[in-house]
């Protein structure tokens, strides 16, 4: 019990900073988004899209502010990727539920996220650091754009164009980039494993 408390104290040191508060805000916005989009009508879909965009913006800001202000913490490193995945995967599951995304595409995206998370967890356990790939950042940006377009399908913004088609094409592009960046993570992990002689 004392070890657990000591670990939490170590994680908690200097953790209440703006970047981590943004990450926590993102996590708290996820249930709001889910409630709004679980029974989508045009108004609720528009509100859900706004909540999703705000949450996605906190994702861009928290990492930038943490690096710029030197406030990178263990808590932030733990919560940030969890928050990202919860946000995107919640949206994908709800989009499958309303028949705007196929279950197969959602499963492929979820499988990639779980695979990369598993590799990073194993690497961290061995003291290895696998830096985020630029391709992965582009993948995340495309996912956000795709999901927002698919959420907005059927709202007052729909006359702007075929949001469903644009959203699906963008999501497929993000899927391709996701597996490319996943391969980069695997390659980076393998090189470190060989270098350490594990």
Alpha carbons 112 and 98: distance in angstroms, whole number: 22
pTM of the model: 0.83
Helices and strands in the chain: count of H runs, count of E runs: 7, 0
Which residue range forms the structural domain that includes residue 158? Answer: 1-196
Give the CA angle between residues 159, 148, 173 to the nearest 5°. 105
What is the total count of domains within the chain?
Answer: 1
Q: Please give the span between the terminal C-alpha atoms of the chain, in angstroms, as a whole number.
A: 32
Report the CATH number at residue 51: 1.20.120.1760
Query: Phi/psi zone of residue 154: left (φ > 0), alpha (ψ -120 to 50 degrees), beta?
Result: left
pLDDT in tens, the chain (198 residues): 555 444 445 445 556 677 778 888 889 999 999 999 998 888 999 999 999 999 998 877 766 666 676 666 666 666 777 888 899 999 999 999 999 999 999 999 999 988 988 888 788 777 777 766 788 889 989 999 999 999 998 777 766 678 999 999 999 999 999 999 999 888 888 888 877 766
Distances (CA, A) of 171 to 31, 91, 163: 23, 12, 12
Query: Phi/psi zone of residue 197: left (φ > 0), alpha (ψ -120 to 50 degrees), beta?
Result: left
């Amino acid at each position: 019990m004392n070890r657990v408390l000591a670990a939490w104290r170590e994680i908690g040191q200097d953790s209440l900073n703006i970047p981590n508060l943004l990450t926590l805000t993102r996590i708290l916005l996820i249930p709001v988004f889910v409630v709004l989009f679980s029974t989508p009508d045009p108004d609720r879909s528009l509100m859900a899209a706004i909540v999703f965009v705000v949450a996605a913006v906190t994702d861009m800001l928290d990492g930038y502010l943490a690096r710029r202000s030197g406030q990178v913490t263990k808590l932030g490193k733990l919560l940030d990727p969890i928050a990202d995945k919860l946000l995107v995967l919640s949206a994908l599951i709800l989009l499958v539920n309303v028949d705007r995304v196929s279950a197969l595409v959602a499963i492929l995206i979820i499988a990639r996220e779980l695979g990369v998370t598993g590799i990073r967890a194993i690497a961290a356990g061995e003291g290895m650091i696998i830096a985020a790939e630029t391709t992965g950042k582009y993948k995340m940006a495309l996912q956000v754009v795709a999901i927002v377009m698919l959420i907005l399908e059927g709202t007052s913004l729909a006359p702007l164009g075929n949001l469903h088609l644009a959203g699906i094409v963008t999501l497929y592009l993000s899927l391709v980039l996701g597996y490319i960046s996943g391969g980069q993570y695997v390659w980076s992990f393998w090189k470190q494993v060989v270098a350490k002689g594990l």
